[in-house]
Structure 1
Amino acid sequence: MIKRKGEKVIGIISIVLNIIGVGFGALLLSIDPSFYDQINEVLQEEGETLPIETLEAGMSAFGIQFMVVSAIAAVLTLVGVIFLKTDQRAVISGILFLVSAITLLIGTVGLAFVPMILLIVIGLMSLIKKPKTDIHTSEYPS
């Protein structure tokens, strides 16, 4: 049995970062409407303008998307960490970590790059690390 303490620790760190991502998505949902006025003023200086309703709708949609994707990644990572208990399920765990990383890459448009990188690392570690075999065989007793 391989000790997979490193994968578990990095997985827990990734879960915490994904929960922080859920909080960031909630923060995007709670932006004050006066902030959209300020954005619109900056856009008017550039020569372009957007309706405030469009800005609000875009930010709230992205906030909801960020929350949902971070929550899905946190759940997949949690299941992957639980599956690390046995060596037979390490491959499943590695696949779950990589799927979670791809979900974060696509769903958050790369903004959650720290947990994504951590998930790629532990996904590859779970897939590559194999149990050590005994060098003693039945032909040559020790």
Structure 2
Amino acid sequence: MIKRKGEKIMGIISVVLSVIGVGFGALMLSVDPSFYEEMNDVLQEEGSALPIETLEASVHAFGIQYMIVSAIAAVLTIVGLIFLKTDRRAVLSGILFLVSAVTLLIGTVGLAFVPMVLLFVIGLMSLIKKPKTDIHTSEYPS
């Protein structure tokens, strides 16, 4: 049996960061309306102003998307960590970690960079790391 302590620790860290991402999405939903006016003033100085309603709707939509994608990534990572307990399911957990990393990459437009990289590394480690084979096997008795 392979000790997969590194994968488990990085998996727990990525779950925590994904849950923080859910909180960040909720924070985006609770932004004060005066923030949108200030943001619109900055955009007007640059020459690309938007109506405040459009700006508010886009921030709310992205906040909801960020929350949902982070929650999906956290659930997939937890399921991958559960499957990581046995060596037979290490390939399945590696695939789940990689799917979670791709979900974070596409869904958060790269803003969840740290958990995405952690999940990508964990997925590759789970797929590549193989159990050590003994020199003496049952096929060739010593």
TM-score tier after normalising by the smaller chain length: over 0.9
Post-superposition CA distance 1:20-52 (Å, at most 9, x none): 000000010000000000011112222332110
Post-superposition CA distance 1:55-107 (Å, at most 9, x none): 00000000000000000000000000000111000000000000000000000
Q: Could you list the runs of 5+ residues in structure 1 that have no partner in the other structure?
A: none
Partner Cα distance (2:71, 2:48) in 1: 35
Mapping for residues 47-66 of structure 1, pairs under 5 Å? 47-66=47-66
Mapping for residues 19-34 of structure 1, pairs under 5 Å? 19-34=19-34
Q: Could you list the runs of 5+ residues in structure 2 that have no partner in the other structure?
A: none
- Percent of pairs with identical residues: 79
CA RMSD of aligned residues (A): 0.9
Partner Cα distance (1:115, 1:24) in 2: 14
Aligned positions, number: 141
> What's the secondary structure of 1:89's corresponding residue?
helix
Q: Given the two structures, how large is their TM-score scaled by the length of structure 2?
A: 0.96
Worse-superposed segment, 24-33 or 129-138? 129-138
1:139 maps to which residue? 140
2:120 maps to which residue? 120
Shift of 1:140: 5.0
2:108 maps to which residue? 108
2:37 maps to which residue? 37
Q: Given the two structures, how large is their TM-score scaled by the length of structure 1?
A: 0.96
Partner Cα distance (1:47, 1:19) in 2: 36
Partner Cα distance (1:117, 1:46) in 2: 33
Mapping for residues 50-89 of structure 1, pairs under 5 Å? 50-89=50-89
Partner Cα distance (1:49, 1:114) in 2: 32
Structure 1 runs of 4+ with >4 Å offset: none
> What's the secondary structure of 2:88's corresponding residue?
coil
Matched, 1:9 2:5: no
